Amino acid sequence: MLSIGSASGADASAAQFDGDARRPRRSSGTWLFLGLLGLGAVACLALVAYRKSVPRDSDEFGLVPTGDVAADAKAFLAAARAQSLPPQKLAESRAAVGQASPLIGTTAPDFELSDTEGHRVALRDLRRAGPVIVVFYYGYYCSHCVAQLFGLEEELPKFAERGVHIVALSADPPETTAARFRQYGHFHFPVLSDRGNKVGEQYGVYTPAVGDRDEDLKHGTFVVDKSGRIVWSYTGYRPFVDNGLLLKLAQASARRKS
């Protein structure tokens, strides 16, 4: 004899089975979507954790400004030099980096500007003795902006041995640069004041604001041979620190007949 309790249990089991049978099963597409959603959530959490671990004020190498321009510039220089490429890729990048400027093969715009001591320095005078490397840097308002100058100073004897002159330009007033020299040390090559980036505009590293277009300023490095012709150039938002390539280019231009 079937008890009432047993009958009720059987009815409940039957109802549960019937409910399970009517519940639609998730398709493979649904499971795939849920899996991708989960991966996306994990990626977002990882990004948040990374952003918290890297200070907001850090640069592309994760370096945080300390307030000491010389120390920060040298740290940037070391980090930039530490980036290594296979020889073939390095050669390709070196060959490509100087191809963009329409000034290649043209006469370098001459300039005569003041250094930190008020002396006038002209490109035409510098190139009489040999090739000249003309460097445009942003100024002392950011640490990595002067990193290239510190790198050139380190290897200045190598350039001097090959008869290569170096000159650097920024919009900083002479008195500002002189004050930074006293604070962080000076360079043994001319550092000139290009007020309003007038010379920089001639070399294509500065574009003034016009209408809705904002002004644009880039780092620039130009190799000018003894005849005054631009034989190689680089412009970009990061300072050029491959002194080995500059030495080879300047030496090659010195051997080339004017």
Indicate which CATH number applies to the domain containing 131: 3.40.30.10
Q: Which has the closest alpha carbon to 165: 205, 198, 123?
A: 123
Q: Which has the closest alpha carbon to 234: 99, 144, 108?
A: 99
Q: Is the pLDDT of residue 165 over 90?
A: yes
Same domain, 101 and 210: yes
* 241 occurs within a structural domain: yes
Same domain, 74 and 31: no
Same domain, 93 and 157: yes
Same domain, 118 and 211: yes
CA distance 232 to 98: 6
Q: What is the pLDDT of residue 77?
A: 86
Count CA atoms closer than 13 A to 48's CA, side-chain side: 6
Same domain, 103 and 41: no
Q: Is the pLDDT of residue 16 over 90?
A: no
118-128 pLDDT, tens digit per residue, is: 999 999 999 99
Q: What is the pLDDT of residue 137?
A: 96
Q: Please give the tally of structural domains in the chain.
A: 2
27-50 pLDDT, tens digit per residue, is: 666 766 667 677 766 665 655 454
The answer to which of 8-22, 76-90, 95-109 has the lowest mean pLDDT is 8-22
Same domain, 37 and 159: no
Same domain, 48 and 75: no
* 46 occurs within a structural domain: yes
Same domain, 136 and 236: yes
* 12 occurs within a structural domain: no
Q: Is the pLDDT of residue 2 over 80?
A: no
Same domain, 46 and 151: no
Query: For the chain, what is the mean pLDDT?
Result: 81
Same domain, 77 and 161: yes
Q: Is 96:167 a contact under the CB 8 Å cutoff?
A: no
178-197 pLDDT, tens digit per residue, is: 999 999 999 999 999 999 99
Same domain, 108 and 40: no
**What residue numbers bound the domain in which 247 lies?**
69-255
Coil vs helix vs strand at 9? helix
Other beta carbons within 10 angstroms of residue 192's beta carbon come to 24
* 243 occurs within a structural domain: yes
* 13 occurs within a structural domain: no
Same domain, 196 and 91: yes
The answer to which of 2-11, 46-55, 194-203 has the lowest mean pLDDT is 46-55
Other beta carbons within 10 angstroms of residue 198's beta carbon come to 14
* 59 occurs within a structural domain: no
Question: 228 in the Ramachandran plot: left (φ > 0), alpha (ψ -120 to 50) or beta?
Answer: left
44-99 pLDDT, tens digit per residue, is: 565 545 444 444 455 566 666 788 888 888 888 888 888 754 444 444 444 445 44
Bigger pLDDT: 258 vs 256: 256
CA distance 219 to 236: 5
For the chain, give the number of residues.
Answer: 258
* 170 occurs within a structural domain: yes
* 61 occurs within a structural domain: no
